[in-house]
Structure 1
Amino acid sequence: MEYCVYILFSKIKNRYYVGYTFNLEERIVRHNQKSKGFTGSTNDWEIVYTEKYDSKEKAHNRELQIKSWKSRIKIIELISKKE
């Protein structure tokens, strides 16, 4: 099974969201549904970055690494390197 680390962006919130999943298409639909939680208050989340991993552990570790930066600038730099 292939896992994906992803970064979403909401224009309404002007914020990024970092996560990982094994089914990106289903996950983005769930992020854009009205619900409790950080992404549930808006429905304009767009995928701006992805990385693929062959294990859940590697994907989760990478997600935690990106989240630990706590830096919008570093996230923007990461996204711009892929373009």
Structure 2
Amino acid sequence: MATVYILYSKSIDRYYIGSCLDLEQRVQEHVLNNKGFTARAQDWKIFFKIENLEYQQARRIEKHIKNMKSKTYLVNLKKYNEITQKLIQKYK
């Protein structure tokens, strides 16, 4: 099963949105990465996640969240569970 995740780095005050099949391994790759966007910081922490999704569903939800281009939307995803539930239903 796949996971959509949002990472947050306090040191650069930025978010990263992704999806994967193994969240723990993927987060470690981001932290240890020395290239790409996540190389900008080493303090990435999981801010939010949606688990137990089909892989294609996770990719569609990831794309939707990225297209929103809004920190407020990311915070509201974490704050209001009904947004998450609507996304899961919409991209089923």
Deviations 1:33-67 (A, max 9, x none): 14111001211000011102432110000000000
- Native 8 Å contact 1:3 1:53 kept in 2: yes
- Native 8 Å contact 1:5 1:21 kept in 2: yes
**Residue 32 of structure 1: SS of its match in structure 2?**
helix
C-alpha RMSD of matched pairs (Å): 1.1
In 2, Cα distance between the equivalents of 1:80 and 1:52? Answer: 16
Choose 28-37 or 56-65, whichever is displaced more: 28-37
Runs of 4 or more off by more than 4 Å in structure 1? none
- Greater share of helix: 2
In 2, Cα distance between the equivalents of 1:29 and 1:6? Answer: 13
Partner of 1:23: 22
Choose 69-78 or 32-41, whichever is displaced more: 32-41
Quick check: 1:80 aligned with 2:79? Answer: yes
Partner of 2:42: 43
TM (norm. structure 1) is 0.91
TM (norm. structure 2) is 0.82
- Native 8 Å contact 1:34 1:41 kept in 2: no
Unaligned runs of 5+ in 2: 82-92
Quick check: 1:6 aligned with 2:5? Answer: yes
Unaligned runs of 5+ in 1: none
Corresponding pairs, count: 81
